Amino acid sequence: MSDRSGAVEIDPSVCYRHPGRQSWVLCQRCGRTVCPECQIQAPVGVHCPECVAETSGGVSWRPNNVAPLKPKRRRRTEQRVRTMLQPAGAEVSAPSVMLGAAIVLFVVGSFTPLPAALLAAASSTSGVSPLPLPELQVWRYLTAPFISSFGGITFGSVVFFALSAVFFWLTAPQLNRMLGTRLFLVVAGVGAFVGNAAMVISVGVGSGLSTILFASFAALLVVVWDDRQVRTQILIMIGVNLLISVALGGAGLPALVGGMLGGAGSLWLIRNGPAKGWKDRTPALIIGAVCAALVLLAVLRSGAL
């Protein structure tokens, strides 16, 4: 992570004030990593000492055995809304653009099936696409996450989209800050491609933010694997979401599992390839070969050829 003045990049897994201390807790205002000593309790999450100074000491350290003063409800609500809409002081980020596109297409798709017909991942037997051989239209595997409505709107579709959007906004911006925009887009793209290809192979229709969401979950797991406590929390979160999917019928399970494999696999390859002595392009070649094999399998599975 670096500031606009071109400061030396700091490992995102260590405290920015104490490079020898590993931590996975981020300041809710600036997004920098802070160790327990530097964590200052705020109405929402924690802040770093510099952000506290910039806000004129709006939050402060408190002993654990002293009950905190109850803040005014209005101030607490305003702080939560501000954090949700603009986490860590971010301006315009890749996750915000992606979520904005998903919201726009959800609204448009509620009135016309055209976005789904052109952008959803589907097999030739699904009847979704008016174009022949949708399995070979590779852009669909990447654009399907932005499609959540198919020409109509129901209470269930609104609830599902809202939950996906909230979990996406709580997860993707943090991963984007940890990895950087370029690597985040690679992880999200591969997760979307693999997850939606898995849906087409299962003769389903790939759509919704779930593939990118679970790719983000899995990538976070790779990043924090050495931290047992955080790792356990993420595993529990993934397990709960998978159980919910199974309880609802399990129709979207291939997308979730595929998204996790794509997200975790791509990040692991890119991070560990150089350490194994691979050439720089080797991870990209492996990812490309896997995606091509999935497209071919989708075509053969649907019997389109």
Same domain, yes or no, for 117 and 54?
no
Phi/psi of residue 205, nearest 5 degrees: -120, 125
Count the domains in the chain: 2
- DSSP for 201-260 reads HTT-EE-STHHHHHHHHHHHHHHTTT-HHHHHHHHHHHHHHHHHHHHTTSTTHHHHHHHH
Q: pTM to 2 decimals? A: 0.70
- The residue segments making up the domain with residue 52 are 1-82
Full pLDDT tens readout for the chain, 305 residues: 444 444 445 567 788 888 878 787 888 888 888 888 888 887 777 888 888 877 755 454 554 444 555 544 545 545 544 444 444 444 678 999 999 999 999 999 999 999 999 999 988 888 888 888 888 999 999 999 999 999 888 888 898 899 889 989 988 998 998 889 999 999 999 999 999 999 999 888 999 999 999 999 999 999 888 888 888 988 998 888 888 888 877 788 999 999 999 999 999 999 888 888 888 899 999 999 999 999 999 888 876 55
Say if 87 falls within a structural domain. Answer: no
The amino acid that residue 267 corresponds to is L
Same domain, yes or no, for 62 and 157?
no
Give residues with Cβ within 8 angstroms of 234, minimum separation 6.
Answer: 217, 220, 221, 224
Cα gap 171→7, rounded to integer Å: 26
**Domain containing 147 — which CATH number?**
1.20.1540.10
Q: What is the DSSP letter of 33?
A: B
Same domain, yes or no, for 3 and 34?
yes
